Structure 1
Amino acid sequence: MKLKSLMVVTALTLALTSPSASADPVLTLAKPTGDRPVGTTSLYLKDTSRADPWVPSVPYRELMVSLFYPVASATGPKKQFMSEAEAKAVFAEAGIEGIPPSVMTTVRTDAVVDAHPAGRGLPAVVLSPGFKRPRAELTSLSEDLASHGYLVVLVDHTYENVATTFPDGRVTGCAACGSYNLEFWQKLGRGRAKDVSFVLDSLIRSRPGLLDPARIGMAGHSVGGASAIGTMVADPRLKAGIDIDGTTDDPLLAPGLDRPFLFLGRQDTYTPGTGDEAATWERDWAQLKGWKRWLTVSSGALPRAGGSATRNPRKPLVAGMQHPSFTDIGLVGEQLGLDFGATTPAARGQAITAAYVRAFFDQHLRGKPQPLLDQPSAQYPEIAFARTSTPYLPAPTGDKPVGSTAVYLKDTSRPDPWVPSVPYRELMVTLFYPAASAKGPKTQYLTPQESAALLAGSGLPSGTLTGLVTNSVADARPAGRGLPLVVLSPGYTKPRATLSALAEDLASHGYVVAVVGHTYENTGQSFPGGRFAGCASCEVPHDNDAFWQKLERGRAADVSFVLDSLTRSKWAGLIDSSRIGMAGHSVGGGSTIPAMVADTRIKAGIDIDGSNKVPLTAPGLARPFLFVNHEQVPKCAPGNADWERDYAQMTGWKRWIEVAGTQHASFTDVGLVGEQLGVPVDGPNAAARASEITRAYVQAFFDQHLRGQARPILDRPGFPEVSFCR
């Protein structure tokens, strides 16, 4: 493995920018965000059961540990951030000149020295710093957790940092520093696991009742984070762990780890598929069997697969964090005028780190659900969800709450086209609509049977999608009347739920959306009462146009029946029957033209990446139509004979656009959920970006053609990925 400087040398590759401006600075750490004062004390511990791994002539392992905890009063002397000897070693190792190291001894902390702890049975978090880094660099994070009621156990790993000060005045240096290879990093991580277990043994014995031994977690930065997985494997007392920006050089082996784990790292280093560091996380991710998240924080550029950096010119560049940004070195260094290459203010970097670390432990040590861990947050736009064990749908972009309900329909005028022994056609439709309130339980994405059928053969657990919920309130009371209606038809073998993100977004902008489940044409569909229908049509040979034409014409009949049923039901007042549109993906898109030809109530249509096997013949189609294609090479390449044939027969408003960086699944929830779970969809654009583009163009099209509101992005590209082919 290629070992980068991130793990090899130091987090402090600094360039001095303005030392004269920092001659007499007043240096501060981040203020704790909790409501409890913080106390601290130092512990000297000696493990006589083993020799020091770096200095074998020392027949024991001695460690310094700082405890941080809630206290009753903030009155008393505050903890010194760093001794002068430690500061000199830090400055010397980083090559900092022109600033007196003594300035680090004046940094203001918020922890009262040797204050008496308030409370017993506290949840505990062990923190481990990066290689060469003294434990002081995680003081802000420690104080923040303690202010929220945690006992924080901050460990200095002797001889692995530039300086550790002991009670008798001795200062040890970095005996481990020198040459580095894979075996070195593995030894380092395994040694830290032993350190942490010894510290926990000592603490439980010496301070009984202070911590709750059933609620202990661990987090670390750089190599301290990388060692968290191995420590959890070695010590089952650790119930949850976090790796903050640390390459994991010691592989997690089968049977893996079934306790909660969070990866949090820089986007340009730890985005899946971008290099050696990210590859170590991908390897271990596959062995994590419990709750897990892989979050990346912007480093100022958005990486593509292969490691090259790019950015979206349509959006302002999100400021970026660098390796020291997660620690107090980033915070204090910025105040000293030192440049780490970060564009995110250090205080913001601290706030992001503290928020996600605290949310993780609140959820997994205290049992308090944290929405911050469920999906990206507008409060922290710097954070992206690279992988998750519990997928989510992106929030709708409109200003209206969304409700949804399942509607069962039965067409007794015709037998089922795929199971002729059934003398009727029955359908399941999900309606999405603006709701009167956002309060209430959210709609389940798929039933257990539907999840198992969709995921069969994927290698994922059959119930993976059972816990996924939409953003819509189940059976909520509708808001509004006479709203435009859009019918959505999914791709072949795909359940109707796979268009939920698009449907919810339209509903949040004031549309009623009917997503049709075409029975026996998807992997599986549940009916009221628990009945389940599989994919009967999948047993029919597909290698001829007659099959696909039957499919498209049958979907056209399904859509007309759905329109008849909705406009004559209790939902009739909610819908404006003069403003109906249709869109579909894959064969659902291919069936849009036949549906519009057969039913003049459909005023506008969109085909999203679907071939048309039923030709559009004279006199053609005079109503608005939009084709949306995945990326072709070369751009807008000829070859889609079906679209060329039908485009020539369209006499009304028409457009044909192509979206770069996409593949077939990129336009639906299949791409979104697949990417979150680590199942590739082969598109170089992130699925969330493809969804953003899809939702924007679908909404713009129907705004213009069902609402009469001009939308400029239909005349010129509104996204750099979009090209107009016709």
Structure 2
Amino acid sequence: MRIKSIMAIMVIAALTLALTSPSASADPAPTLAKPTGDRPVGTTALYLKDSARPDPWVPSVPYRELMVSLFYPAAPANGPKKQFMSEAEAKAVFDEAGIKGIPPSVLTTVRTDAVVDARPAGHGLPAVVLSPGFKRPRAELTSLSEDLASHGYLVVLVDHTYENVATTFPDGRVTGCAACGSSSPEFWQRLQRSRAKDVSFVLDSLAHSKWAPLLDTSRIGMAGHSVGGTSTVNAMVTDTRIKAGIDVDGTQSDPLLAPGLDRPFLFFGRQSLYAPGTGVESGTWDADWKQLTGWKRWLTVAGMQHPSFTDLGLVGEQLGLDFGATTPAGRGQAITAAYVRAFFDQHLRGRPQPLLDQPAPQYPEVAFARTSTPYLPAPTGDRPVGSTAVYLKDTSRPDPWVPSVPYRELMVSLFYPAASAKGPKTQYLTSAESAALLKDSGLNVAPDLLTGMVTNSVADARPAGRGLPLIVLSPGYTKPRATLTALAEDLASHGYAVALVGHTYENAGQSFPDGRFAGCASCDVPHDDAFWEKLELGRAADVSFVLDSLTHSKWAPLIDAARIGMAGHSIGGAGTLPAMLADSRIKAGMDIDGTTHVALTPPGLSRPFMFLGHQLGATACVPGDPTWERDWAQLTGWRRWADVRGAQHASFTDVGLVGDELGVGYGATTTALRTQEIARTYVNAFFDQHLRGEARPVLDRPGYPEVTFCH
């Protein structure tokens, strides 16, 4: 951990921990978080001695002594519960923090849930090594240890001697913090590397002890708090037995170097310090993130402070101490336990955990800052969403880009309210489509990355409802139809049928049901003004054909042909105007960030229309898109023009979402998730008002500080 972080923690400890409750001594004994699993928990203390190396902090000691607490599923038993801390340890913690007015003995009475020396139940258990923060005794991770054990894990909680304020040994000796007082970068690197050696020695010792039958050596993970978390990277690099790791709120001080680490890893910390781009601390995560080549997540938790992830925050709050957190300590413990357990369930037990796929409504405090498996944000409506792929063939015209093909083939993704949310989710892209899009984007990632994109719609689900308003969505040039999936799913969750059109030969690549793959034939054509006009007019023709096909197919009962709207992004948005001019069935339209090339001429368009785009200059609406200004004058019906500050072109699509999730910059200062929230709100409101006749005040005045109405 960097000097700045350590000094900040020490100041908080000295100033805020001293704020005590006047009635603390009369309060009941503090309690730890109750284990959430269904198994009783046992615990035992182990004394280990490594004669192969001298102590790194007291060289006069020719060996390394460690105390370890094991937690494990136990046979039901009555017996004494584990003491949270000894009197000497409690006094050392209070003295280091400058706490006055509370007797240290209060920490010796904290109620725990693990029975001392209970008989173990089971064998060959997945194991998790836990490492506490600098200066902190291992007791600070007792709740987490008990919770994991209650779910069937063997937990190995290590005390790193001379690196905390007090370690009590079986013979009564209490060692202090010989490592305290140092704070240079070299010190923190040395500390992390020493901890890695401690962990390997502990694993060696367990594997050759009477506890070996409890341990499955092929399923070992590690997590730690603060420097215990940063040391997890070091331990994994030096010991391949550790299959998965977590850094809980620890600033990396020993950079991860090439070839990096290909095993699963989770960064999990407070939002105030570790949100990407916030400062030095998050910068250390960013540097290591680039060297993590396997499954990875970067999650932040709002309202938490450094002690919030540990029992010191939990017990301190019960004693009336203020750490500056706005999320209650009990809630912080529950969040920490849930995500740590989900991580190890997935990577040590092979049980997929939806909690790790995308933000969960039950934990709104947790944000997915970055991920190696992109996801779409959950729809905001109250209806499950289904989707299906529809193949269409227009034999009345040749393909505009490959004239040797005497017909026009289209793929359409149809989204709709579903009868159930159960079932396999829709695949985002085929392998060929993913590879083509990623190659076109220039990203150096696995070509099949987007085949595993986490979507929210159930493939081929049974529709719910009939006579629904229909929205046609048209994507940007070179972008497959899938890049508007988040918007399509959201509209469907609010009761719309959505036809998301793939314009063949106009995107990086499109797969057909028979296995054929069509590349971007139009990409080889000179992109002059005539090209863009042809593209927009061709999109209008595609949309009319899609409407003809859907309203005369098995899907016709799902659609109310009198309530059809259209929206698109980029050239798909620009194509909305010519589509509306050519087809009176389209009652309302939106252009999302698309420069128009086919000028709207008198008598113009009298149906509702809205422009929604990113702010072009430093000042909202100045300059405005000149093509929008030109067409604005020809819109004679209801009309709006909204600019979104801080967004960029990709922000309105899944491309921006994936960029943010992977940590790939595209120039936006407003996150794609926020821009998507704004876009979803205005798209839903626009069609609610003009297809359903439901007034939406957000269309009369900007509902977001980032949004300005230009006209």
Same fold? TM cut 0.5: yes
Q: 1:176 to 1:110 in 2, by over 3 A?
A: same
Match for residue 665 of structure 1?
Answer: 650
Of the candidates 204, 208, 220, which is equivalent to residue 207 of structure 2? 204
Of the candidates 455, 469, 472, which is equivalent to residue 484 of structure 1? 469
Match for residue 517 of structure 1?
Answer: 502
Match for residue 123 of structure 1?
Answer: 126
Match for residue 56 of structure 1?
Answer: 59
- Listed one character per residue, the Cα deviations across residues 20-52 of structure 1 (whole Å, up to 9, x for unaligned) are 121233211111111111111111100000000
Q: How does 1:255-404 map to 2 (within 5 A)?
A: 255-298=259-302, 320-404=303-387
Kept after mapping to 2: 8 A contact 1:443/1:470? yes
Amino acid at match of 2:404: S
- Listed one character per residue, the Cα deviations across residues 695-722 of structure 1 (whole Å, up to 9, x for unaligned) are 1110110000001011110001122222
Q: 1:505 to 1:244 in 2, by over 3 A?
A: same
Q: How does 1:428-447 map to 2 (within 5 A)?
A: 428-447=411-430
Match of 1:691, SS state, is helix
Amino acid at match of 2:337: A
- Listed one character per residue, the Cα deviations across residues 665-698 of structure 1 (whole Å, up to 9, x for unaligned) are 1111111111111112321222111111111110
Question: What is the deviation of 1:116?
Answer: 1.4
Match for residue 90 of structure 2?
Answer: 87
Question: Is residue 181 from structure 1 mapped to residue 181 from structure 2 by the alignment?
Answer: no
Of the candidates 19, 25, 29, which is equivalent to residue 23 of structure 1? 25
Match of 2:129, SS state, is strand
Question: Is residue 566 from structure 1 mapped to residue 568 from structure 2 by the alignment?
Answer: no
Match for residue 622 of structure 1?
Answer: 606
Amino acid at match of 2:661: Q
Q: 1:514 to 1:7 in 2, by over 3 A?
A: farther
Kept after mapping to 1: 8 A contact 2:20/2:101? no
Kept after mapping to 2: 8 A contact 1:111/1:143? yes
What is the CA–CA distance in structure 2 between the aligned matches of 1:246 and 1:20, rounded to whole Å? 33
Amino acid at match of 1:435: A
Match for residue 631 of structure 1?
Answer: 615
Q: How does 1:387-536 map to 2 (within 5 A)?
A: 387-456=370-439, 457-536=442-521
Match of 2:451, SS state, is coil
Of the candidates 149, 165, 168, which is equivalent to residue 171 of structure 2? 168
What is the CA–CA distance in structure 1 between the aligned matches of 2:332 and 2:8, rounded to whole Å? 23
What is the CA–CA distance in structure 2 between the aligned matches of 1:190 and 1:664, rounded to whole Å? 45
Question: What is the deviation of 1:442?
Answer: 1.1
What is the CA–CA distance in structure 2 between the aligned matches of 1:265 and 1:468, rounded to whole Å? 24
Of the candidates 697, 703, 725, which is equivalent to residue 682 of structure 2? 697
What is the CA–CA distance in structure 1 between the aligned matches of 2:445 and 2:218, rounded to whole Å? 30
- Listed one character per residue, the Cα deviations across residues 195-221 of structure 1 (whole Å, up to 9, x for unaligned) are 000001111111221111111110000
Match for residue 5 of structure 1?
Answer: 5
Give structure 1 regions of 4+ aligned residues with deviation exceeding 4 angstroms: 7-11
Match for residue 594 of structure 1?
Answer: 578
Kept after mapping to 1: 8 A contact 2:2/2:253? no
Task: Please report the TM-score for the alignment, with normalisation by the length of structure 2.
Answer: 0.97
Q: 1:117 to 1:177 in 2, by over 3 A?
A: same
Match for residue 308 of structure 1?
Answer: none
What is the CA–CA distance in structure 1 between the aligned matches of 2:245 and 2:405, rounded to whole Å? 54
What is the CA–CA distance in structure 1 between the aligned matches of 2:653 and 2:580, rounded to whole Å? 22
Match of 2:433, SS state, is helix
Match for residue 242 of structure 1?
Answer: 246
Amino acid at match of 1:552: E
Question: What is the deviation of 1:587?
Answer: 0.6
Unaligned runs of 5+ in 2: none
Kept after mapping to 2: 8 A contact 1:7/1:131? no
- Listed one character per residue, the Cα deviations across residues 534-591 of structure 1 (whole Å, up to 9, x for unaligned) are 111111122x221111110110111111111111111111111111100000110011
Question: Is residue 102 from structure 1 mapped to residue 87 from structure 2 by the alignment?
Answer: no
Q: 1:643 to 1:9 in 2, by over 3 A?
A: closer
Of residues 463-472 and 693-702 in structure 1, the stretch that sits farther from structure 2 once superposed is 463-472
Of the candidates 120, 123, 140, which is equivalent to residue 137 of structure 1? 140
- Listed one character per residue, the Cα deviations across residues 493-548 of structure 1 (whole Å, up to 9, x for unaligned) are 00000000100111111111001101111000001111001111111122x22111
Amino acid at match of 2:495: G
Kept after mapping to 2: 8 A contact 1:296/1:385? yes
Match of 1:16, SS state, is coil
Unaligned runs of 5+ in 1: 299-319
Amino acid at match of 1:493: T
What is the CA–CA distance in structure 1 between the aligned matches of 2:308 and 2:360, rounded to whole Å? 20
Kept after mapping to 2: 8 A contact 1:392/1:469? yes
What is the CA–CA distance in structure 2 between the aligned matches of 1:7 and 1:480, rounded to whole Å? 60
Amino acid at match of 2:298: W
What is the CA–CA distance in structure 2 between the aligned matches of 1:436 and 1:71, rounded to whole Å? 44
Of the candidates 611, 614, 635, which is equivalent to residue 650 of structure 1? 635
Kept after mapping to 2: 8 A contact 1:667/1:690? yes
Once superposed, what is the RMSD of the aligned Cα atoms? Answer: 1.3
Amino acid at match of 2:584: T
Question: Is residue 608 from structure 1 mapped to residue 592 from structure 2 by the alignment?
Answer: yes
- The number of equivalent residue pairs is 704
Kept after mapping to 1: 8 A contact 2:357/2:454? no
What is the CA–CA distance in structure 1 between the aligned matches of 2:499 and 2:621, rounded to whole Å? 31
